[in-house]
Amino acid sequence: MQDEKNKPVKRRFIAGAVCPRCGEMDTIVNYRLGDKNYRECVNCGFKDEIRIQSRPAEIPTRVNESGLDKEVETPVKILEPGPAKKNRK
């Protein structure tokens, strides 16, 4: 079993990313050391820690809410049919 410190670091290029220092596109690699993520430019050597933010709370919508909390519909007034009326001219 290998120790985590001896494992090779898996680096991935970020497509379309622009380096904030040199302005070159497609030169940024992303990698993880321990519990921190880093980005690094292979062109100029810029290095920065990426702070991972937690997911924002999901906005309640009719799609993701259950229908159990709906109010029970009650009729306001029931109309009974009366005797038929003849048309007057």
For the residues of 24-72, what is the DSSP string, one character each? -BS-EEEEEETTEEEEEETTT--EEEEPPPPPPPPPP-TTTS-GGGPPP
Judge whether residue 49 has pLDDT over 70: yes
pLDDT higher than threshold 50 for residue 1: no
Tell me if the pTM is above 0.85. no
pLDDT at position 38 is 93
> Region 49-61: what's the mean pLDDT?
80
- Name residue 33's amino acid: L
